[in-house]
């Protein structure tokens, strides 16, 4: 369970999935590879591991087309995809303060990339570096690891350029330094960046004139920033706490719909004896069967709301071999049939 210490929120999976859908690309195999499901679309505060996030972006980076996918994802990242951080940045005084907030709290959503601010007399540069989990890096080829690194950095470059331009059209970077690019990448960089582009070495750097970084922005509201930063602190603190035993069991149930581990398998995965696991669940006024039923109910609700899967397939994902048994159980959960529940969701939309 070492991964419990390296957690993040699922917010940045949403713009990735939105862009994949816009390009008619399926995200189900990507989520399955990371032991995730479509619930990340309904609950961006779902806590996932750095490894799961990296697997999803590695899957996207391996796609052959479109070549500009990383840039599209960067431009698709909105305020809601950064939760309270995004709104705090919108109310910040200057672009320098925005970047400082990003350095401090962005790892809650995108821990796979970090950047350093290099301040000089007349310029301020951002130097990017990918943070790919070692366990995943070992499973990738050298080319695959480099492709993932480039995808992450291109995405963040695009996000920073797009959001800076939206804050103030005068906030224009004047230099972009990148490693040598393939021919089909040159046109993409030229399209999204209007300043000078320098290729060579291993550096990923974007440079802004210092004057642009210290311009007071039109939406500046310090009281709003202070209030929103308190929310960021609470979110960050929640990630640093080890989930309670009931939460860990629920995460295990939802990791692979249709494949629900037994009590004994759960205990082994959590490094506990079966007796200890049962006792610790009892201490939380819970038990294996009640958590299993809650997980199945959540999985069924998620798929009925967000997918067009036949009810027979959703029944299988919830562990029912007979659709009629699933329908009967669902009526006990929700006081309506799966078909009625799906129609209610569509009418709300």
Mean pLDDT over the full length of the chain: 85
* Sequence-ordered list of residues with C-beta below 8 angstroms from that of 51, at least 6 positions apart, any chain: 3, 6, 34, 133, 135, 136
pLDDT: which is higher, 25 or 251: 25
Res. 139: pLDDT tops 90: no
3-state secondary structure of 34: coil
Can you give the pLDDT at residue 185? 62
* Sequence-ordered list of residues with C-beta below 8 angstroms from that of 294, at least 6 positions apart, any chain: 250
Dihedral angle computed from the Cα positions of residues 249, 254, 255 and 256, in that order, rounded to the nearest 10 degrees:
120
Residue 271's pLDDT band, with cuts at 50, 70 and 90, is confident
How far is residue 265's CA from residue 256's CA, in Å, rounded to a whole number? 14
Helix 245-255, helix 274-283: angle, nearest 10: 110
Can you give the pLDDT at residue 152? 94
What's the rounded mean pLDDT across residues 181-192? 67
How far is residue 145's CA from residue 148's CA, in Å, rounded to a whole number? 5
End-to-end CA distance of the chain: 39
Residue 290's pLDDT band, with cuts at 50, 70 and 90, is very high
Name residue 32's beta-bridge partners: none
For the chain, percent of residues with pLDDT exceeding 90? 38
pTM: 0.71
How far is the CA of 90 from the CAs of 208, 227, 339, in angstroms? 19, 13, 42
Q: In this predicted structure, which of 86-95, 114-123, 313-322, 325-334 has the lowest mean pLDDT? A: 114-123
Q: Are strands 196-199 and 175-178 parallel, antiparallel or unpaired?
A: parallel
How far is residue 47's CA from residue 291's CA, in Å, rounded to a whole number? 18
For the chain, percent of residues with pLDDT exceeding 70? 93
Res. 296: pLDDT tops 80: yes
Residue 2's pLDDT band, with cuts at 50, 70 and 90, is very low
Can you give the pLDDT at residue 344? 79
Res. 107: pLDDT tops 50: yes
Phi, psi angle pair for 71, to nearest 5°:
-65, -40
Residue 345's pLDDT band, with cuts at 50, 70 and 90, is low
How far is residue 22's CA from residue 32's CA, in Å, rounded to a whole number? 20
Can you give the pLDDT at residue 4? 36
Res. 283: pLDDT tops 50: yes
pLDDT: which is higher, 169 or 280: 280
Phi, psi angle pair for 314, to nearest 5°:
-65, -35
What's the rounded mean pLDDT across residues 189-195? 76
Strands (E), the chain: 7-9, 47-49, 113-119, 123-130, 175-178, 196-199, 205-209
Can you give the pLDDT at residue 3? 36
How far is residue 174's CA from residue 24's CA, in Å, rounded to a whole number? 35
Contact 326, 314 (CB under 8 A): yes
Max mean pLDDT among 10-14, 160-164, 241-245, 265-269 falls in 10-14
* Sequence-ordered list of residues with C-beta below 8 angstroms from that of 268, at least 6 positions apart, any chain: none
Per-residue DSSP letters for 111-180? TTEEEEEEE-SSEEEEEEEE---HHHHHHS-HHHHHHHHHHHHHHHHHHHHHHHHHH-TT----EEEES-
pLDDT in tens, 5-49: 478 999 999 999 999 999 999 888 898 888 787 777 778 888 888
Can you give the pLDDT at residue 183? 59
> Residue 193's CB: how many other CB atoms inside 10 A?
20
The overall longest dimension of the chain from CA atoms, in Å, is: 71
Res. 100: pLDDT tops 90: no
Residue 163's pLDDT band, with cuts at 50, 70 and 90, is confident
Helix, strand and coil in the chain, % to nearest 5: 60, 10, 30
Contact 176, 198 (CB under 8 A): yes
């Amino acid at each position: 369970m070492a991964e419990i210490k390296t957690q993040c929120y699922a917010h940045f999976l949403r713009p990735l999935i939105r862009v994949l859908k816009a390009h008619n690309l399926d995200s189900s195999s990507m989520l399955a590879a990371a032991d995730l499901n479509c619930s990340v679309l309904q609950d961006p505060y779902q806590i996932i591991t750095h490894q799961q996030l990296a697997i999803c972006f590695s899957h996207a980076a391996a796609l052959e087309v479109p070549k500009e996918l990383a840039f599209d994802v960067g431009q698709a990242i909105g305020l809601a995809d950064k939760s309270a951080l995004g709104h705090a940045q919108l109310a910040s005084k200057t672009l320098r303060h925005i970047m400082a907030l990003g350095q401090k709290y962005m790892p809650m959503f995108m821990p796979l990339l970090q950047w350093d601010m290099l301040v000089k007399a007349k310029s301020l540069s951002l130097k990017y570096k990918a943070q790919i989990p070692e366990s995943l890096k070992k499973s990738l080829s050298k080319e695959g690891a480099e492709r993932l690194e480039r995808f992450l950095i291109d995405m963040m470059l695009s996000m920073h350029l797009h959001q800076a331009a939206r804050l103030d059209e005068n906030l224009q970077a004047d230099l972009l330094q990148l490693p040598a690019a393939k021919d089909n990448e040159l046109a993409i960089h030229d399209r999204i960046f209007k300043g000078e582009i320098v290729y060579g070495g291993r550096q990923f750097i974007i440079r802004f004139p210092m004057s642009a970084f210290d311009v007071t922005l039109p939406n500046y509201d310090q009281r709003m920033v202070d209030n929103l930063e308190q929310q960021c602190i609470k979110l960050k603190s929640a990630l640093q706490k080890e989930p309670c035993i009931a939460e860990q069991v629920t995460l295990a149930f939802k990791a692979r719909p249709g494949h629900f581990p037994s009590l004994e398998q759960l205990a082994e995965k959590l490094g506990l004896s079966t007796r200890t696991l049962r006792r610790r669940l009892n201490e939380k006024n819970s038990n294996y069967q009640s958590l299993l039923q809650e997980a199945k109910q959540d999985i069924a609700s998620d798929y009925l709301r967000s997918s067009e899967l036949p009810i027979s397939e959703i029944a299988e994902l919830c562990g029912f071999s007979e659709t009629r048994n699933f329908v009967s159980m669902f009526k006990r959960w929700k006081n309506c049939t799966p078909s009625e529940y799906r129609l209610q969701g569509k009418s709300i939309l």
